[in-house]
Structure 1
């Protein structure tokens, strides 16, 4: 008996383990066998040998324990299901709980006693009460983890008696499935992270494009530095993937070189060292150093020019710099240093005076800060509307600006214009409680309000440029197109203000501000020559090709007309250097084909007839890029899918399709990392500031990989599980509490001269 029990594994999906089953044969009762496609091992065979104590639970009278080879988990094999020829549920045991819950299905109570059949209504209630308990334990565990991670709940909540009482009230069996301590939940999360990480690695291996990187660094509320690293690629199904690869604590130095080393370690963890494409980030010197470190280490053969061509500037950061130049007339950088110096000295009046010198925007900043400084002033501001014609503006408070975010000025000015009369009324009525000027020195005249109105209209241009390119539906071809449109808009505003300034000097300052903003945008417009991929992205859009450049520059200056030929030359140089198959390789392939001799004499005759034509043909193989550019553009339509267009041409134009898919995978902005910081701020709170670095990274990565919950019909009782169809999850940011016009939080960092 024992010799057969420990013999070789049985390969069958039908086993008989119940000793009272007429088909039971002890000679065929093997230790290991396959059931429903998975390998299992009987656990009670060891107990039979008398080396473990007797099992007293009633579940062992109706079944036994099996060990699943895949994950080494113990499951319950039911003798009653076998005798009734029902499929085995194989619930995870968790001691004996899984078996006890399963026995309820066969009409037993939790003590192992047979229960009389209840009326239909009672049976429905019992079925509802045991529905979750008898459900797949692994699936429940993953759904529970997803809820904890996505909502960023404290692990100690599981130990809260009130929470456990609530769960027990809903289902006594469900309460037993919950972990009893936060450390257990931590282990569950780390195990889930390791498993999901392997899935991301598999996705990266199947990517149809290079994997592009974006990253940014952030200081958490508890003072630790964290580097957020995102990967961007095209999946085999044609979906653009933007996934968080690391949310890693930065120790020691925060230099660009050190950040680059951290990114390299992340790339090696995910095993795509030979597929790193372009690197996009804010325009600060540390990001330049990080990009050169990454590319020089991974691709030692790349020249400095090639490394520079792979370092892309975040469009959102360019928009931020241009918008600040418009708001402050280009003098913000030096003024910020002086503000910091005065603030460190505690000179509030000096700070107010410096802001006052920045024109109407600075005056409005002082008024908003003054009103919001105390609850009494806020209340006084709200009381300005009671009983008057301004009642329609009730409950609208002033919005504070933020020196590091241009769009905060856009929203602050917009709200101030809405409650303009209330601000004027407050300034007239208010009596300061201290011997200071209060808001008297910052009163806004009619000219000031006109300037604020025009500045707000101008900033709407930047809001459109930012919001339309930060969503994941925008393509990299829009990077250069948006910058070009921004230049046109700023030039139109500048010309309009110059004309208006003839009769009203109020517009002279606005014209100078537009000029400063235009110069900033024009600087990065010309720097696009360093990264020819921005031109290639437009040409590889079948709706644009060369026609966009012709429409943009053919009616301009001679210099602009020459740009049409120049960008095409740069794009073709990039194609020949990195994608175009070499003539030698093509010749080798033709030679290899010609040397294959067929066994069929008819085929040999055909080969002979065409041999001279092949040998005497002086023409080179058709260039894929030239052939593509020679065709007409595709008509524009909302239904056109440019990614699907190139996926369909992977067989006929393999190298060119790869070139295009690489362009399509690049994001216009590095805002994904910025969004992850908003989510991290909700995790690392002042009451949860001792979380270890590994659990912080695991939870933030899982939260990003799970994606936002999909909306379901509230009338349906079924529960949607993202694990059933993970490809349908929309991988975009979902943690920010800001409105769409405030999602990009540009950092006020040192600009590269």
Structure 2
């Protein structure tokens, strides 16, 4: 154990001790230990220590110091080979009077008592087991040092103050990171209502930093105050509609709900919102097999006794093979693909559900109890559920796929980028087309009408995607796709030649914007800004100036020709085997930026955009761990400061 200052055995009459100069730093770097000085009178005459020291139980950094002995500094033994102990070199004399517990030398360490107090802390404070064994806690205990006990806050307001202080110092680091981005900064945002009723808006920035790395950074989590006013749309000097990108997960969710509930989903949800239990059961029953399954699942999950009955039937059917049982799943309303999960689980539990139906009896003493036989599933219902399950499975897989983080370290270029949006929609378009052909001559059914409604909803979002060129340009600039993809799928397979022509026009127009911006920047660097170079000097004769053009106009024309040809060169370049499976398009463009300088700038912006706002959902999932029933009065400013720093620390953006 090393002391943070030079100390002496405390006398029983400390007021009689003469004042002494401040300690001199030791040569070996331990703060507060004298390098060398002669013994003083007060050291020699010091009275015995006020507390007894067990020199066989001196610990430092969790290890016992072997061979430590009491050997005052002033005592010299000449002619002997006594080994100088570590504790002596770094201050054997300890001051006990007035010292804090952290500065006292622990003569004993009771392992059992320490463990008991540690467990008590976990139990009483509801500390999770992962938190109690986290590396950060281990570091704090191992490296706390002697003064750690003095630093521990004694009131919760101190913790809030510390969090705000570190937030103010760290936010400048993030501001500089965003300021130095080499790409445009794209924003994804979403709203969330916490368990305490407060509304928060998560704002995440997506960009390429100065080192060429894609970043997803939480920039804000403020509490939402007041109604929606469109003030930001009026404030920003840009075409908001053209720059708005839609979350592909939201598109998939709306298409799926159209498949399940038909064309007027809003009306259906409005009816459910104010309905009584019995009335809501009747509304769901009109939705065919899925509606009756929802009623059945809701009924079973409503009480623990009914859930136990379903588990008993599973065990009865499994016999000796029973290992575990499953719970029936009910529609989660706001959760994407929750209806698919409900159908999937019901098919797994079909035998148990049929056994439950066969043994169900309406309670005799409850006349208002719902007659569950209205919701029993027959063979035709199970067949329809299987068709819905098989059709909706690709939607479920694509939703999970696009929820990925294409900027996550180790999986750079993975799924979840905006260039996958149109590819995802095209894949689903083909699935709808196949299903429509299969059901073309069938009798009307919920499944058949659902296919028509879902396909119509998907085509609506094709039209909306045309309002911005980003979706098409991102896929067109992907080294593994390009214009060839649109020609194969849109022009040929999907028989939409006009879509293909519109795509070329939109991508060319967007490229022209980048080309003009590159031209302005090049002129600024070369000192050829408009007005600096004009027509050929007026004093030359007419013949010499005839047919000549200004330097500015020549440069403008040549750069324009070069910019237009750059896009054509990329789309008509030779394709090699490694170009067919490019996992990270941005990495490919980093290697080819000298060949396509304008396209490279365009690629930086396009391939740093996510396809979904799932990053905001991840933020909300973390924040709900902070705002609980026991912590429902946290100030929104503290919540924001805490969660922003949490995200920055988890991503290694700050230390």
CA contact (8 A) 1:545 1:633 kept: no
Partner of 2:650: 707
Partner of 1:550: 487
Q: Given the alignment of the two structures, is residue 297 of structure 1 paired with residue 270 of structure 2, yes or no?
A: no
Q: Given the alignment of the two structures, is residue 497 of structure 1 paired with residue 433 of structure 2, yes or no?
A: no
CA contact (8 A) 1:227 1:248 kept: yes
Partner of 2:188: 214
Partner of 1:384: 313
CA gap 1:393/1:628 in 2 versus in 1, 3 angstroms: same
2:430 to 488, 511, 536: 488
Listed one character per residue, the Cα deviations across residues 26-66 of structure 1 (whole Å, up to 9, x for unaligned) are xxxxxxxxxxxxxxxxxxxxxxxxxxx999999953449xx
Listed one character per residue, the Cα deviations across residues 395-423 of structure 1 (whole Å, up to 9, x for unaligned) are 21111211222411111111111011111
Listed one character per residue, the Cα deviations across residues 153-197 of structure 1 (whole Å, up to 9, x for unaligned) are 999899xxxx9x999899884555533332232222222222221
Whole-angstrom CA distance in 1 between matches of 2:649 and 2:144: 26
Deviation at 1:667, TM superposition (A): 0.8
Deviation at 1:214, TM superposition (A): 1.0
Whole-angstrom CA distance in 2 between matches of 1:180 and 1:579: 61
CA contact (8 A) 1:59 1:112 kept: no
Note the aligned Cα RMSD (angstroms).
Answer: 4.5
1:254 to 227, 240, 247: 227
Q: Given the alignment of the two structures, is residue 642 of structure 1 paired with residue 578 of structure 2, yes or no?
A: no
Q: Given the alignment of the two structures, is residue 407 of structure 1 paired with residue 337 of structure 2, yes or no?
A: yes
Whole-angstrom CA distance in 1 between matches of 2:271 and 2:20: 79
What secondary structure is seen at the aligned counterpart in 2 of 1:398?
coil
Alignment of 1:350-749 (within 5 A): 350-389=279-318, 392=322, 394-433=324-363, 434-435=366-367, 436-473=369-406, 474=415, 475-498=417-440, 501=442, 505=443, 508-555=445-492, 560-581=496-517, 620-621=558-559, 622-623=562-563, 624-633=566-575, 635-636=578-579, 640-651=583-594, 653-707=596-650
Partner of 1:225: 199
CA gap 1:375/1:206 in 2 versus in 1, 3 angstroms: same
Whole-angstrom CA distance in 1 between matches of 2:361 and 2:18: 84
CA gap 1:524/1:106 in 2 versus in 1, 3 angstroms: same
CA contact (8 A) 1:553 1:561 kept: yes
Whole-angstrom CA distance in 1 between matches of 2:340 and 2:376: 20
What secondary structure is seen at the aligned counterpart in 2 of 1:555?
helix
Whole-angstrom CA distance in 2 between matches of 1:681 and 1:243: 19
CA gap 1:371/1:578 in 2 versus in 1, 3 angstroms: same
CA gap 1:417/1:58 in 2 versus in 1, 3 angstroms: farther
What secondary structure is seen at the aligned counterpart in 2 of 1:233?
strand
CA contact (8 A) 1:540 1:660 kept: yes
Whole-angstrom CA distance in 1 between matches of 2:579 and 2:329: 41
Whole-angstrom CA distance in 2 between matches of 1:615 and 1:172: 69
Alignment of 1:2-81 (within 5 A): 60-63=22-25, 77-78=31-32, 80=34
Deviation at 1:647, TM superposition (A): 2.7
Where do 5+ consecutive residues of structure 2 fail to align?
Answer: 6-14, 38-58, 76-81, 93-101, 104-121, 407-414, 534-547
CA gap 1:379/1:238 in 2 versus in 1, 3 angstroms: same
Whole-angstrom CA distance in 2 between matches of 1:231 and 1:576: 26
Deviation at 1:496, TM superposition (A): 2.0
CA contact (8 A) 2:67 2:85 kept: no
Larger Rg: 2
CA contact (8 A) 1:356 1:362 kept: yes
CA gap 1:616/1:688 in 2 versus in 1, 3 angstroms: closer
Alignment of 1:33-432 (within 5 A): 60-63=22-25, 77-78=31-32, 80=34, 173=146, 175=149, 177-251=151-225, 253-257=226-230, 260=232, 293=233, 296-299=234-237, 302=238, 306-342=239-275, 347-389=276-318, 392=322, 394-432=324-362
Whole-angstrom CA distance in 1 between matches of 2:18 and 2:201: 54
TM-score w.r.t. structure 1 length? Answer: 0.63
Where do 5+ consecutive residues of structure 1 fail to align?
Answer: 1-17, 19-52, 65-74, 84-99, 127-132, 135-152, 261-292, 597-610, 709-721, 727-753
TM-score w.r.t. structure 2 length? Answer: 0.71
Partner of 2:543: none
CA contact (8 A) 2:284 2:295 kept: yes
Deviation at 1:544, TM superposition (A): 1.5
CA gap 1:76/1:217 in 2 versus in 1, 3 angstroms: farther
CA contact (8 A) 1:490 1:514 kept: yes
